[in-house]
Chains A and B, each alone.
Chain A
């Protein structure tokens, strides 16, 4: 079947099998920053923003995601001007193997959009849907705190 997808501010007319997940459609069309981690919607590597809310794209039927804004990690910032969240996470040492990272970036963006001044609890809950096997989360949490401070100041 065919559908119109609004990905990172651009419109894409894409063909896909009716049973395809949003993850499959995104990855097979070059959005490989959306990672395939577990198939069960539990690891967060495939998180994207759908209508501004983070969702595990492996659990979303592609057919239900047409005509709605979708944001991936590449939709935030550019190569030469990384988004403040990306900058803060890099400086805090929040990145190791990098496979969970694009998902964490979009969830952090969703959190700070809604809650510019999050509490520790709110940060931990926002990231609870993401598995990072490398960092023990300590520096990811630091990165999110740093991003929140900077973003608030920039606004």
Chain B
């Protein structure tokens, strides 16, 4: 703990947000600006043979851009080179961008859409991932509709399954698509400057991803990209803003004027990325003593029409598939399946919520099937120090898992509540209460090889006036980066907090600290800033001739340092993998993540047997994320992540019909409000002296859905294998004989 680190400091940017004076991209007033819009495919799959503009329409009022206007490559540079910025001869999902328009009056844009005609030759389409895997399925991505398939293997599970006396238990778990509903919709502004020097300003998590996309689009230009204050991201503004920036850029380039594109809520919900719907099949071999001997897990993700980030989402999904348990013989297979839907993408948890829902439900399901207590069953299978994960990584933090497990049982008074609720149910014929739990982990940062490839850099600049400026690409999208990184820097440099300034993330002036994703910012980027800050402190202390101790020492040291020469002191640190972190990304063997966060969540719920509504009554979240830089903000991350997890489990239903998401307005897609959350909510962080931060943002999304659903299963004594379980779905589950 320092002067600032570890303290519940209110966020630095709160005041501007509370008055509404902070300007998001849609709030910026730009003289001469045009409004841009995207014209999209009305069909899920077709050959695009021509685009015709009604000759009677006054097109000279508009700027019109098609794929032919792209100066560089018409390929978004992601993991696979499959996604065009604008469709050329084929469309693969409803809503795929074909043409761009800009006009000074946004209302004229919609009118123009009616005067665009497409020459389309329809092709068969497929939306369900299981349908897409059939041999006769329409081909979205040749030859087999698989963007990637992966396998993690340890031991010889096939042999174990064939052993005599082994009991095999199987179950399949399904999770639906989920929409981010960041409250600020996607928005991007391209500012035109002479010499086609266009600057991009917008809502985004990863300014350098946007720069890379524009480099491909322009055939090598270094376009300046700057983050605007961002109203929530949750992964939804990881890769998608690259496309929107490309569209704004192309329109501004052709118009030679500034262009802004801001999606309305419907457009945002209907066509931007979603959490991958999943199917996870568990086959488990149980020995005569009731122990898990082997597991086979198959993970299928519905990736939509283009690969985007699906290969890495799938990697994280399978790396979390057996969680904190020891499975001596195991095989985990993963498949990212192509369908004719808008591409799925990053969403808080990044594949882990899908496999951890399946696993933590399956642990309860196995225990119930075997007549064992779910708590004792989990405890029996916890990885001990020295035992290996499926990747061969050796567990070294078993006591931390035991500690969060134990503490969550204590805080929730699990055993006592379990009995009390069962007694309560006997008194209340029309309502059922239950308690459930999930024990889980989240790998912090990219995989080992991912962080090595990113080779993030972070820069601190000490200005002669004593301001310490943080110049990085990591953004604050609401999660609090601005505040917590400032706390870290203030402490390590020895500066007052108000002397630290967080420079607006910008690709021209700041160091590329990597994307603001994967719960990596405090751990990885904060670590680099600490190194840089330590070097600044050395210089200050050398100038002062003694250690910085009292707060007023700082100004004195600054004065002395710059007395001779008032030149800013600039320190940039680059990430290097710590020794011993090796990751073989082909074989999925080695140390997968730099570190892990561990947690145990407990939920109590009530099910109304008249309305079939599930009401969370109480939530206990105990986690070990290492040092907590700011408890106030950290608690907020847990509350918010759990709320999204409760929505994912109980409310946020997103169905597909004829290639469209049915629920594409907030009137249809229901997210939790203040009335839907548990009235009692306890959050506890466990950590030890000398700990470092280990990633927090995504963790609460992983464990809350299975905790809530295990509580519903306890309440109803009925297995649930699919989420979300809305009231009508719950009714059908309990009335299997009823017609649909």
Contact = CB atoms under 8 A, between A and B. Distances in A.
B643 interface: yes
B644 interface: yes
Interface string B207-227: 000000000000000000000
Count chain A CB atoms within 10 A of each CB in B16, B477, B639, B667 and give the residue with the most.
B639
B116 interface: no
Contacts of A123: 674
Interface stretch (B149-157, B181-189, B713-721): B181-189
Contacts of A74: 19-21
Nearest to A101: B17
Given A33-B19, A43-B183, A93 B633 contact: yes
B13 interface: yes
Contact of B674 (A30, A35, A82, A124): A124
Contact of A95 (B8, B18, B232, B644): B18
B265 interface: yes
Contact of A100 (B11, B29, B183, B635): B183
B480 interface: yes
Contacts of B667: 40, 42
B10 A90 contact: yes
B599 to A, nearest CB: 16
A86 B671 contact: no
A89 B18 contact: yes
A96 B265 contact: no
Which size bracket describes the interface of B in this complex?
A: 35 or more
Contacts of A130: 673-674
A127 B640 CA distance: 16
B289 interface: no
B6 interface: no
Contacts of B673: 127-131, 137
A132 B17 CA distance: 14
Interface in A92-143: 93, 95-102, 105, 120, 123-125, 127-141
Given A39-B266, A127-B673, A137-B639, A95 B24 contact: no
Contacts of A89: 14, 18
A45 interface: yes
A49 B644 CA distance: 29
Given A42-B667, A133-B182, A97 B231 contact: yes
Interface stretch (B247-255, B364-372, B675-683): B675-683
Given A93-B632, A139-B639, A101 B18 contact: yes
Contacts of A129: 673
Given A99-B184, A124-B675, A105 B18 contact: yes
A32 interface: yes
A97 B232 contact: yes
A37 interface: yes
B33 interface: no
Contact of A38 (B18, B27, B479, B665): B665
Count chain A CB atoms within 10 A of each CB in B8, B667, B673 and give the residue with the most.
B673
A133 B671 contact: yes
A25 to B, nearest CB: 14
B23 interface: yes
A99 B24 contact: yes
Interface of B: prevailing SS: loop
Nearest to A37: B183
A128 B675 contact: yes
B37 to A, nearest CB: 15
B15 interface: yes
Contacts of B18: 73, 82, 86, 89-90, 95, 98, 101-102, 105
A32 B27 contact: yes
A101 B183 CA distance: 10
A97 B11 contact: no
A36 B478 contact: no
A72 interface: yes
Contacts of A79: 15, 19, 21
Contacts of B638: 136
A12 to B, nearest CB: 17
B344 interface: no
A138 B20 contact: no
B199 to A, nearest CB: 21
A63 B478 CA distance: 35
B11 A90 contact: yes
B20 A102 contact: yes
Nearest to B230: A97
B265 A93 contact: no
B79 interface: no
Contacts of B42: none
Given A97-B477, A133-B640, A125 B181 contact: no
Contact of A136 (B10, B477, B639): B639
A109 to B, nearest CB: 12
A26 B264 CA distance: 17
Interface string B56-94: 000000000000000000000000000000000000000
A93 B484 CA distance: 13
Given A93-B635, A101-B17, A133-B182, A140 B479 contact: no
Interface string B619-646: 0000000000000110110111111100
Nearest to B638: A136
A33 B480 CA distance: 20
A37 B20 CA distance: 14
A141 B14 contact: no
B656 interface: no
Contacts of A139: 632, 635-636, 639
A136 B677 contact: yes
Given A43-B183, A99-B231, A133-B640, A138 B677 contact: yes
Contacts of B265: 37-40, 43
A127 B89 CA distance: 49
A34 interface: yes
A33 B230 CA distance: 14
A102 B642 CA distance: 24
A15 interface: no
Given A96-B640, A128-B673, A86 B19 contact: yes
A77 B643 CA distance: 31
Given A42-B667, A98-B478, A133 B644 contact: yes
A29 to B, nearest CB: 11
A67 interface: no
Contacts of A73: 18-20
7 contacts: A73-B19, A74-B20, A96-B478, A101-B17, A133-B234, A134-B183, A135-B636
Give 3 closest A-B pairs by Cβ, nearest first: A33-B20, A97-B478, A98-B17
Interface of B: 8, 10-11, 13-24, 26-27, 29, 180-185, 229-232, 234, 264-266, 477-480, 632-633, 635-636, 638-644, 665-667, 671-675, 677, 679, 681
Interface of A: 27, 30, 32-40, 42-43, 45, 72-74, 77, 79, 82, 86, 89-91, 93, 95-102, 105, 120, 123-125, 127-141
